[in-house]
Amino acid sequence: MQYTLFGKTGLRVSRIALGTGNFGTGWGYGADPETSKAIFQAYAEAGGNFIDTADVYQFGQAETILGDLLQGRREEFVLATKFTRGDAPDAGRLVTGNSRKAMVASVEASLKRLRTDRIDIYWAHWPDHVTHSEEIVRGFEDLARAGKILYAGLSNFPAWRIARAVTLAELTHAVPIAAAQFEHSLVHREPEADLFPASHALGLGVVTWSPLGGGMLTGKYRQGEQGRAEAFGGNVFQAENSGQRTATLDTVLAIAGEHGVSADQIAIAWAGTHGAVPMIGPRSLNQLSSNLGALSIELSEEQIARLDSVSAPDPSAPARIPATLPSEETVKAIA
């Protein structure tokens, strides 16, 4: 496994993070505890040390499974989790969103499920478009002073809100906003217009999710497989619904043939060329093994240029930022 410094922190994290949205079956789609354990152990044996989860993942099951798996080896991993939507399908209004009350209630529940005394990176999962940045920053500071979190991060926030929160934390000497997380792949490149430049300029560690476009970039849907095209109600799935996307997948498959590897490895290797830690979310041990193969691939400048060119986004297209608190179906599908 290869490692990298995470933003301006002193954390040395693996070049690929393990997302655990598929740990559990609370959503009706995912991996049972034994399969989850096999995925976790194989990732750890490969040298992986960056685990990302959320209270909403499988309605708390992912954190519970992780809590069991981390016993006796907690210090081997950077453990990140998120709050915003709650840990149950009927989570109440006072324990959802970005308020300090929701943050405190959520972190206490996550700590119990994870069976640990602190969370290494605590993310606000989505902006609720109600809570002001000042409250979020102060809430993170309270948790850090209480020893419950070490670092704070913002997931799926627009660039301007990330910049404001970072600035507020600096001016008030609060725990720094140390990281940003957002979707990025060959079929979702809008973050390159603002989120990447802002994050790099601010010295943030960056985690990107769905580097495979919900599986579209593996090419498996051309073979009749369904996967996330149907699971999670079709959320977090990028359909092959345009000439550009078809050309992009054709190029990924062609370069995979040149390397003698699978398409997922090319897509993940490309995602890793942007100064971010791509996060994978395998549902099986075979998927994990294939995804990790990306670490051994070195794309040539010519291959990167081909991929960049064929997938180039429309510069006039606005970034796809949720206008409201995402639906339960959308939020629970993030892996």
Are 130 and 97 within 8 A, CB to CB?
Answer: yes
**How far is Cα 36 from Cα 69, in angstroms, rounded to an integer?**
9
* Residue for token pair 């994870």: 114
* Residue for token pair 């999710």: 209
Q: 3-state DSSP call for residue 199?
A: helix
DSSP tag of 19: E
The verdict on whether 57 is a catalytic residue reads yes
**How far is Cα 246 from Cα 68, in angstroms, rounded to an integer?**
42
Are 151 and 178 within 8 A, CB to CB?
Answer: yes
**How far is Cα 291 from Cα 265, in angstroms, rounded to an integer?**
6
**How far is Cα 243 from Cα 319, in angstroms, rounded to an integer?**
20
**How far is Cα 152 from Cα 230, in angstroms, rounded to an integer?**
33
In DSSP terms, which residues pair with 220 in a beta bridge?
A: none
**How far is Cα 3 from Cα 11, in angstroms, rounded to an integer?**
10
**How far is Cα 98 from Cα 237, in angstroms, rounded to an integer?**
26
Between the CA of residue 203 and those of 4, 6, 113, 163, 200, what are the distances in Å?
14, 9, 31, 11, 5
In DSSP terms, which residues pair with 42 in a beta bridge?
A: none
The residue annotated as part of the active site, out of 57, 122, 151, 221, is 57
Query: Which residues form the catalytic set?
Result: 57
